[in-house]
Amino acid sequence: DTEVTQTPKHLVMGMTNKKSLKCEQHMGHRAMYWYKQKAKKPPELMFVYSYEKLSINESVPSRFSPECPNSSLLNLHLHALQPEDSALYLCASSQVHGYNEQFFGPGTRLTVL
């Protein structure tokens, strides 16, 4: 299984809502990532988890809260977002060591009203 799955595919939320994005992989990868991608831009790294521990936080605002419940799952909790947070949110996974190709999920298209 070489797939990273993400749910939901689309999400519309108001600025006062709380929602969560979910990501799952069954490739045995122990590194998982959250990226944000705006139109016509490359993916922008937000968070990295290695062995279920947060290893990189790219100075992301606290209204984004990541969680890694186990080695296969990665969540991104959203609260009090701004319209400028509307983007495609991508999850990826990879091996921790060695040359680590990152495999991406299909993304969640988030719209903040």
| CA pair distance 102, 95, nearest whole angstrom | 8
Task: Give Cα 55 distance to the centre of its chain.
Answer: 14
Our CA angle for 43, 35, 37, nearest 5°, is 40
Site membership for other proteins, residue 25 (CB under 8 A): no
**Residues numbered 48-87 forming contacts with other proteins, rule: CB under 8 A:** 48, 50, 55-56
Among 16, 40, 59, 70, binds other proteins (CB under 8 A): 40
Site membership for other proteins, residue 101 (CB under 8 A): yes
Stretch that binds other proteins, among 12-20, 63-71, 76-84, 105-113 (CB under 8 A): 105-113
Q: Up-side HSE of residue 83: CA atoms within 13 Å toward CB?
A: 1
Site membership for other proteins, residue 93 (CB under 8 A): no
Tell me which residue of 79, 100, 89 sits closest to 13, measured CA to CA: 79
Binding site for other proteins (CB under 8 A): 4, 6, 31, 33, 40-43, 45, 48, 50, 55-56, 88, 90, 92, 94, 96-107, 109
